[in-house]
Amino acid sequence: MLGHPEAPGRLRTVLTSLEDAGGRWELEREAALSPEDDTLGVVRWLHDGALVERLRTASQAAPGYVDSTDNPVSSGSFRAAVAAAGIAVQTALDLVNGRLTRAFLAIRPPGHHAERDRAKGFCFFNNIALVAEVIARAWGVPVLIADYDVHHGNGTQHMFYDRGDVGYLSVHRYPFFPGTGAGDETGEGPGLGMTLNVPLAVGARDAVYASAFEAALEELANRIRPAVILLSAGFDGHQSDPVGGMGLTEEGYRRMTRAVVQASETWSEGRLISVLEGGYHPGATATSVRAHLEELAGLEDGVS
């Protein structure tokens, strides 16, 4: 929707920045996606079919909204959401089948606010939850999802809150949208202790944000010993972001990425999939993503 922060331009800026880096990464502009029906079949493992149809109908009638005014819809929203979910599912399958060990998915719309039966916070389908679900079903091993987006990933937490096979860690601004993510939200039933939230006050800078993330990641990884680590990589905590109100810089994102890479090498034989979430200042998001990828790839000039 015109003027909305979750717009195609933010992703185009990221991709242009990566292309301008001159072949430092292997970029795939188009993934070998499964047919739409196959993708939606996996989406329905986690999401209610009624949500799928509401989004399809809203896109056909666009412009408008689905579920609430924080989810504006254009004529291409359904297609974009299915494509993002399809890339997530295909990447999970590629990891399971040994075709890759580490990847970053530059996709939109984001996903970590999407709940089982409701779109929320610009998110329609929960991309990172789909990655986790495919891996958990295929391998039956513990999976850890870490999330450093400035907003708490309520949808991801709720998907796995009562499960013992997928852990969820979030470091985020609190209180803030979407209102969840208090420190006493730790899971229930078989999932008790599998959720770890670290709420931070507005304005937190690199030292506080990254230190909190590093400590929490070490704690939860030691607890669940994940065979795969996933990262909800939101860059809206950047000091230039118009939404987040935090003080992170590219160095902070390097530091947190480095911690995730080290954890994956310790626990999961380097298996790590990172998925783009928020980030609404196109320039700051692009430079932060480049710093993130330098650490994922272990490039010499990305080590500080």
Q: Is position 113 annotated as part of the catalytic site?
A: yes
What gap in Å lies between CA 251 and CA 272, rounded to an integer?
A: 20
Residue 147, helix vs strand vs coil: strand
Paired strand residues for 196 = 169
Residue 61 burial (CB count, 10 A): 10
In the chain, where does DSSP find H-type helix? 8-20, 36-46, 49-60, 77-96, 127-139, 154-160, 206-224, 250-267, 282-297
Q: How far is CA 261 from the centre of its chain?
A: 16
CA distance from start to end of the chain: 39
Q: How far is CA 13 from the centre of its chain?
A: 18
Question: 68-73 and 102-105: which strand pairing?
Answer: unpaired
Residue 201 burial (CB count, 10 A): 12
Out of 4, 47, 112, 113, pick the active-site residue: 113
Residue 44 burial (CB count, 10 A): 12
**Half-sphere exposure (Cβ direction) of 188: Cα atoms closer than 13 Å:** 6
* Catalytic residue list: 113
